[in-house]
Amino acid sequence: MIRRQRLAAGLGALLAALAAGLAFPAGAVADETTAMAPKVDLVIDVSGSMRAKDIDGQSRMAAAKQAFNEVLDATPEEVQLGIRTLGANYPGDDRKTGCKDTAQLYPVGPLNRTEAKTAVATLTPTGWTPIGPALLKAADDLQGGEGSKRIVLISDGEDTCAPLDPCEVAREIAAKGIGLTIDTLGLVPNAKMRAQLSCIAEATGGTYTSVEHTDELTDRVNQLVDRAADPVVVPVATEGAAECAKAPTLKSGLYTDREEFGQERWYRVDVKPGQELRAAVSVAADRAVSPDYGVLLRAVTVHDREIVRGEAAGTGRTDVISTGLRYPKADSDDENAPAETVCLQVTHSFAAAAGVKATPGLPLELTVDVVDGPSDASDVASFGLGRGWWLLGALIVAGFLAGLVWGWLSRWRVAVWRTN
C-alpha cells in the first residue's frame, strides 16, 4: 500500500513537472532575450573612390576592412550585428542601375565572427554611392524586436543618387517612430560630405564624426556598437552658469548643454562622505573650427580650490573631444556629516574659423555619476600595496633568514673542504 502511494506521488510530481514545462517552455526565455537584443547594421561605402590611398598609407577600403575586423572581434555577445554595402557590385555607368547597388553582405543576427570577416574580405571598391537607398534597406534589415536599433554609416563621399535626398530619407525613418538611430562617419575632410552626413545623423538623434586614421575609425565604431548594447539613456537638457555659485545642482545622469567660444560652464554636484564622483564631458565641433583645440574639466571646491582635473587636446582629426575625472570623498565617522558641494568647470579652446557664427554654442555632453566609494581605507589601499604590506614584510624576513642559512651552509662547506 505504501509503495503504491509513493508511486502515485512520484507520478504526480512527474506530471506536474511536465505541465510546468509545457506552461513555461525553455524557449520562451530565449525568445524574450532575442526580442530585446540590440541590433546594429554597419553600412559601408564600397564605391570606386574608396580606392584612394590616403589613410595611414593604405587605401580607404583597406582601412575600413581593418577597422571592421577589429570591431567584429570586440562586438558584445548580446548585440545582433549585420553588414550592408553600397556601391559594391555594379561597375558600370548606368546611373539607374548604380543607384540600386546596395546589398546585405552579412544578415543582422547573432554574430559568427569568422563568417563576417570572410564576407568583409571579399569587398572591392566598385561603383556608385547610393546612400539614400542603402539607408532605406538598412532600416528594413533592423525590423522586428524591441531592443535598440542603430545604423552606423561609413562613407567617403556624397550620395550620387539624387533626387533621393539621404537627409529626407533619414527624416522619413525618424518619422516612423521605431527608435532607430543613424550615426555617420566621414573618411575624408570634405565640407559638402560633412554637411550631408551631419544632416543624416541629426535627423535621428545620432552623431557625425570625421576620421582620418584607422585607429580612430576602429575606436569610434566600437564606441557606437557598445552604445547600442547599453541601456537607452535620454539626455537631460541643462544650462550651466558663468560661476559656481549660480550653477545648477546635478544628480547622476546624462546632460546636454551648449558652450560658446571662450565661455566657461559651471555645474554643482553634492558628494557625501564615502561616495565617489565620476564625471566626463564631450564637446563636439558642429561647424568649421581651427585645427588645434582642447577641453578641460575641473573639480573645485566652493572656495575655488582645485581638487582634480581632466584634460585632452586635439589636432583636427576628429570632431569630438572628451575627458573625465574621478574624485573619491573620504569617509567620515560622523553619520550626520554633510555632503560636499563640488563645482565642475568645463572650458574648451575651440576657435571659430573666419565667418563662422559663434552662436549657438558648441554641443556639450556631460555625464555625472555619484557612486558608493570603497568601504574603508584598506579597500582604497588595495589598489596599491594596501593589505599586501604584511606579505611584503614576510617576504623580506624570509629572504633575510634564507640568506643567513645559505651563508652558514657556504661557510660550513668551505670549512669541511679545507679539513679534507
Cis peptide before 248, with omega less than 30 degrees from 0?
no
pLDDT tens-digit readout, 299-316: 999 999 999 999 888 776
Q: What is the DSSP letter of 177?
A: T
Residue 250 has what pLDDT?
Answer: 96
* Share of residues in the chain with pLDDT > 90 (%): 41
The answer to whether residues 268 and 175 belong to one domain is no
16 found inside a domain = no
Residue 6 has what pLDDT?
Answer: 47
Give me the count of residues in the chain. 420
The answer to whether residues 77 and 211 belong to one domain is yes
Which CATH number fits the domain that encloses residue 267? 2.60.120.380
pLDDT tens-digit readout, 303-350: 999 999 998 887 765 677 888 888 988 877 777 788 999 999 999 998
Residue 157 has what pLDDT?
Answer: 86
The answer to whether residues 246 and 362 belong to one domain is yes
**Higher-pLDDT residue of 113, 389:** 113
The answer to whether residues 147 and 40 belong to one domain is yes
Band (23; pLDDT cuts 50, 70, 90): very low
Among 40-49, 167-176, 364-373, 392-401, name the one with the lowest average pLDDT.
392-401
The answer to whether residues 210 and 245 belong to one domain is no
| Torsion over CA: 149, 259, 238, 174 (sign) | negative
Alpha-carbon distance 187 to 199, whole Å?
16
Alpha-carbon distance 5 to 278, whole Å?
64
Which CATH number fits the domain that encloses residue 97? 3.40.50.410
| Torsion over CA: 351, 355, 356, 360 (sign) | positive
The answer to whether residues 206 and 250 belong to one domain is no
For 18, counting Cβ atoms within 10 Å of its Cβ (0-12 exposed, 13-18 middle, 19+ buried), the class is: exposed
The stretches of 79-213 forming alpha helices (DSSP H) are: 95-98, 113-121, 131-141, 166-175, 191-203
411 found inside a domain = no
The answer to whether residues 91 and 113 belong to one domain is yes
The answer to whether residues 159 and 73 belong to one domain is yes
Alpha-carbon distance 234 to 76, whole Å?
22
From 229, 254, 283, the end of a domain falls on 229
Alpha-carbon distance 278 to 326, whole Å?
5
From 169, 204, 229, the end of a domain falls on 229
296 found inside a domain = yes
Residue 153 has what pLDDT?
Answer: 95
Q: What is the DSSP letter of 171?
A: H
From 174, 201, 229, the end of a domain falls on 229
**Mean pLDDT, all residues of the chain:** 81
Q: What is the DSSP letter of 60?
A: H
Is pTM, for the whole model, over 0.85? no
337 found inside a domain = yes
The answer to whether residues 195 and 252 belong to one domain is no
281 found inside a domain = yes
Q: What range defines the domain where residue 53 resides?
A: 34-229
The answer to whether residues 279 and 314 belong to one domain is yes
Band (230; pLDDT cuts 50, 70, 90): confident
Domain count, the chain: 2
The answer to whether residues 71 and 126 belong to one domain is yes
Band (72; pLDDT cuts 50, 70, 90): very high
401 found inside a domain = no
**Cα–Cα distances in angstroms (integers) from residue 301 to residues 270, 295, 340, 351, in the given order:** 11, 20, 8, 29
263 found inside a domain = yes
| Torsion over CA: 285, 290, 291, 295 (sign) | negative
CA angle 48, 50, 56 (to 5 degrees): 155
The answer to whether residues 114 and 221 belong to one domain is yes
* Share of residues in the chain with pLDDT > 70 (%): 79
Q: Which residues pair with 277 in a beta bridge?
A: 327, 370
201 found inside a domain = yes
